Amino acid sequence: MLAGLPDGRLRTECRPPPPKQGLGWAETPRGTAYYAVHLDADGRLARVKIKSPSFSNWRVFPYTVHDSNMMDYAINEASFGLTVAGCDR
């Protein structure tokens, strides 16, 4: 089997891929989640940015509780499914 191989190199070096980037999104029960991915010249992750639905939903939340009593605050917050950790990245 090896005798049937053509003459020449058996292995060729490949150049690393150029830096790339991509954007992905998906609809979740709480809203849209975004992922931005940047690769370096070696094809490794250089940067990843995640935008959770909470990031957008926190902006409208004050309008839902501005004239509510304090007892409704927790119910409104739970209905939005807000997380501070989802925004603090």
| pLDDT tens digits along 44-73 | 899 999 988 888 888 888 888 878 777 777
Percent of the chain with pLDDT over 70: 94
Can you give the chain as a three-state secondary structure string?
CHHHCCCCCCCCCCCCCCCEEEEEEEEECCEEEEEEEEECCCCCEEEEEEECHHHHHHHHHHHHHCCCCHHHHHHHHHHHCCCCCCCCC
Overall pTM > 0.75: no
Split at pLDDT 50, 70, 90, the class of 1 is confident
Q: Is the pLDDT of residue 89 over 70?
A: no
CA 69 to chain centre: 36
| pLDDT tens digits along 2-15 | 788 788 887 888 77
Backbone angles phi, psi at 37, to 5 degrees: -120, 130
